[in-house]
Chain A
Amino acid sequence: MSATTAPAHGTTPRARTARAGFGATLGFELRKLRAQWRTRAVLLGALLLPIPVAFAIHAQGNPPKDSLFGRYATTNGFALALLVLGYAGQWVMPLLTAIVAGDIFASEDHHGTWKTILTRSVSRGSFFGAKTVAAMGFAILVLLILSASTIVTSVLVAGHGDLIGLSGQLIPASQAWHLVAMSWLTAIPPTVAFTGLAILLGIWSRSAAVGIAAPVVIGFVLQLVGSMGSAEALRPYLPTSAYEAWHGFLASPSFHGPFLTGLIASAVWAAITLGLSWTLLRRRDITGG
């Protein structure tokens, strides 16, 4: 220990009354995310992985006709971008968001740092809000990067000719750009719902492994349920169905019912999962780290 003097107060020190605003707490969470290799890896992956995927699909002799737009994916970049969108909605997007959202609360349990951060000047509520905003922001950022990378790579690899839409109509390239971009953006609401689910699972299990893997598994299960003919009444309300809402944008005339239903359902799922998450966190006794 140093031989220098202790803090130079002669009398009982006055209490510091500075408090951290929400912005500072959010900055704290973002700072931590930035420092973790995992975050950077996901962002880099979202940027780079579409490239080999686009090339691989484009190089196939027999186009994947069993998926929407698969039959034109080798000859049309817009079709290729939409084919990848169809695949990505199945498990890639829930995974990409769960990597951060499923861990952002559980990591405090893992490092034993709840007792470190909750004994400063920031309430549990502020942390919950900041972590949720950080996770949602990350999810949307990853999605935007993945979308841009996929669309640009697909068009460079397979061309930008006119696209045959989902009513057999011929869509000129200038319009196809907009429709493809909008289709990718419709993945945001269900991804927000899955972010809420990952947050809930991370808080409930206090384990990053569960928080990351369980939303993906649940996504698979929900898709299976959705594909069962007998469960058709449930289908519009499942968070996974919203990943297919973009179909209507590519039809002629276009229809937006499934997108609106998916948007509302995603909002409800996000509200329920986040509400449950907050209840769990608020009442928790921090007995360990």
Chain B
Amino acid sequence: MRRIILTFAAAVLVAVGLGGVAVATSSGSTITVPRLDRAVATSFSNVYAQEAAIEGHTGITPSSLHAKAMCDRGPNVTQSGPGATWNCLMSWTDPNVPMPPTGYGKFELNVHSNGCFTVGSPSSLIGYQTITDRRGRTVNNPAYEFDTCLDPASDNTPTGTTFPSALTITSTTVNVAADGTVGVDLACGVGAGGCQGKVAAVTDSGTALGTVDVAMTEQATAHLTFPTALPAGTKEVTFTPTTTIGFAPPKPVTLEVQG
């Protein structure tokens, strides 16, 4: 009995000791935005250059890409530590593959507690799991998905890279409410600062339905309702978002009226 008590006491002492060490040395997680920014950009540059070589595009080296990343763990959470909600917005220079209008591609990360993470690249810019090499063979695309491990002692000064959130209209048709007013769904994507601006709605016959203010955090959705009721017989409505913060779609969006 005495042995068991003594052993238990010893185990408690060890646990307390470890806890003390942890508290004393803790200064937050070592998985931080600046470290992820740099690590993702470095790894991506390396694998992208390999993909370019496989596809026969000359002149692409990791340093020629000037890749820059901005990583973000999501809204309303501390911006450090492991998690499956990390996203990185990244831009790079490749004459063969222009950046989309927003200026960046969105990469999804799954970061583990040991500081290692898997990056999933946007297929619209990078391609899929397999690509065709110069000789026509189907081979693995090294840039599609890749693993990296963070150096817990690497440079932690902020990189200063930011990308604006993209404001998009997610509705596919025009919803008409019971009182005849019109609504539209918006999404504000990953980025710095969220989305602020206005959306103007005009019918196909030129009637203005109003302009509504937009103020959203990043990675949020919103539903806007326009004050003026829809005139009868309207077939389409054109929505024009403009932003002071965030990136607005370059062209206005025209949607058909339901029913």
> Which of A75, A167, A168, A255 is packed against the most chain B CB atoms within 10 Å?
A168
A247 touches B149 (CB 8 A): yes
Q: Is B81 an interface residue (CB 8 A)?
A: yes
Shortest CB–CB separation between residue A246 and chain B, in angstroms? Answer: 10
Residues of A within 8 A of B140 (CB): 75
Given A75-B140, A229-B81, A257-B152 contact (CB < 8 Å): yes
Top 4 closest pairs, chain A to chain B, by CB: A168-B46, A233-B26, A233-B22, A168-B43
Cα A204 to Cα B11 with chains together (Å): 13
- A-B pair number, CB within 8 angstroms: 91
A257 touches B151 (CB 8 A): yes
Residues of B within 8 A of A248 (CB): 149, 151
A166 touches B148 (CB 8 A): yes
Given A255-B151, A257-B151, A235-B145 contact (CB < 8 Å): no
Main secondary structure on chain B at its contact with chain A?
mixed
Q: Is B253 an interface residue (CB 8 A)?
A: no
Given A167-B39, A227-B112, A251-B26 contact (CB < 8 Å): no
Shortest Cβ distance from B29 into A: residue: A232
B113 touches A168 (CB 8 A): no
Q: Is A228 an interface residue (CB 8 A)?
A: yes
Q: Is B50 an interface residue (CB 8 A)?
A: yes
> Which of B113, B116, B147, B151 is packed against the most chain A CB atoms within 10 Å?
B147
Residues of A within 8 A of B42 (CB): 167-168, 252
Shortest Cβ distance from A255 into B: residue: B151
A244 touches B114 (CB 8 A): yes
Q: Is A15 an interface residue (CB 8 A)?
A: no
Q: Is A258 an interface residue (CB 8 A)?
A: yes
Shortest CB–CB separation between residue B169 and chain A, in angstroms? Answer: 35
B50 touches A237 (CB 8 A): no
Q: Is A6 an interface residue (CB 8 A)?
A: no
Residues of B within 8 A of A247 (CB): 114-116, 149
Cα A248 to Cα B82 with chains together (Å): 18
A257 touches B153 (CB 8 A): yes
Cα A167 to Cα B50 with chains together (Å): 12
> Which of A75, A164, A227, A236 is packed against the most chain B CB atoms within 10 Å?
A164
